[in-house]
Amino acid sequence: MDEILSDRKNKGNVTYRIVVSEDSGRIFIELEKLMKVRAKESEKKTTKKVVYQQSFFKDEFDRVKNEIEDPILLQICVDTLLKVKKYD
């Protein structure tokens, strides 16, 4: 798989991450939503915990978009797909 685009957005204590790759001519998307939480180790103040993770091919997006409950994550995904489409 060849990585096409990787993007990250921070909104307060939440980080949204998206990675777009190409596999045999198909576009593959990986979404992650991470939240800052208090670290269990005394030398670290906070750490990031994955609270949502989804992977799918672009042609499955219409089905998957109904499963994405976070409107910010959905908008980031739509914007990123438009960027990728522009460079095709």
Would you kindly state where each structural domain of the chain is located, as residue ranges? 2-87
Instruction: State the Cα–Cα distance between residues 48 and 39, nearest whole angstrom.
Output: 9
- Report the pLDDT value the prediction gives residue 79, as an integer from 0 to 100: 92
The model carries a pTM of 0.82
- Please report, in tens digits, the pLDDT of each residue of the chain (88 residues total): 789 899 999 999 999 999 999 988 889 999 999 999 888 877 878 888 999 999 999 999 999 989 999 999 999 999 988 888 766 5
* 3-state class (DSSP) for residue 32: strand
CATH topology of domain 2-87: Nuclear Transport Factor 2; Chain: A, (3.10.450)
Q: Are 76 and 39 in contact (CB under 8 A)?
A: no
- Report the pLDDT value the prediction gives residue 86, as an integer from 0 to 100: 67
Task: Supply the DSSP string of 11-41, one letter for each residue.
Answer: ETTEEEEEEEEEETTEEEEEEEEEEEEE-SS
